[in-house]
Homo-oligomer: A and B are copies of this chain.
Amino acid sequence: MATPEGVAADDTRRQIMEATFRALSEHGYSDLRVRDIGAEFEKSRTLIHYHFDGKHDLIASFLEYVIEQYEEPEADDPADPWATLSARLDQCLFGPDVGDFDHWERMTVYHELFAHARHDERHRAVFTDHYEQLRGNLTAVIEAGIEEGAFRKVDAESLAQLLTDVIHAARARRISLGHEDAPDQAREAVDAFVLDTLEPEN
């Protein structure tokens, strides 16, 4: 059972994460200093230093925090693998439908940190874990569909990797180049050229 102290610490951690999000959105990653996060944080900045060992440690935790928010999958209808796959693709491309949670502001920060990940082994590990989680979720959906005979037998992991790459590129193009229609274009192209591969042979 969570103690009052535990709840308070969780609350502080969440507030630090939200302050990090605001500071990253404003300053970008390269110019970010812990003091910028402190300026967005309502409590004492010493609490940030108490919880985290510098900027890189804090950002690694922040990445995990952002990723956790995307973890809860939509309720799947296991009876319809096509609908399940479609809902997963939409969620990845267009974001979860959860009120004031701004998918694209968070994705912008995510993609900026992704581009810097080659400079930090721990960040790279977090992104690789997340990549494998996204690919794994899609692999599971495809394998379930094959199991039920709704999909043709294919290399589910390879197809899931292709879809994960397409999703990533469409988001990057929207964020970096301002191509607002990139996710829609990606979805249409996947429907037209990729998903056919799952149609069972008569």
| Residues of A near any B CB (own CB < 8 A) | 28-31, 108, 111-112, 114-119, 124, 127-128, 131, 154-155, 158-159, 161-162, 165-166, 168-170, 172-173, 175-179, 182, 185-186, 188-190, 192-194, 196-197
Structural contact, A190 and B169, CB atoms closer than 8 A: no
* Closest B residue to A158 using CB positions: B189
A161 to chain B, nearest CB (A): 6
Structural contact, B112 and A115, CB atoms closer than 8 A: yes
Structural contact, B155 and A192, CB atoms closer than 8 A: yes
Structural contact, A185 and B166, CB atoms closer than 8 A: no
Structural contact, B194 and A194, CB atoms closer than 8 A: yes
Q: Across the interface, which residues of B come within 8 angstroms of A111, CB to CB?
A: 115
Q: How many copies does the complex hold?
A: 2
Given contacts A162-B186, A169-B172, are A192 and B115 in contact (CB under 8 A)? no
Chain A interface, >50% SS class: helix
**How many Å lie between the Cα of A168 and that of B186 in the bound state?**
13
Structural contact, A192 and B154, CB atoms closer than 8 A: yes
A157 to chain B, nearest CB (A): 10
Q: Across the interface, which residues of B come within 8 angstroms of A196, CB to CB?
A: 196-197
**How many Å lie between the Cα of A168 and that of B111 in the bound state?**
14
Q: Across the interface, which residues of B come within 8 angstroms of A31, CB to CB?
A: 30
**How many Å lie between the Cα of A194 and that of B117 in the bound state?**
30
Given contacts A108-B118, A115-B115, A192-B154, are A177 and B131 in contact (CB under 8 A)? yes
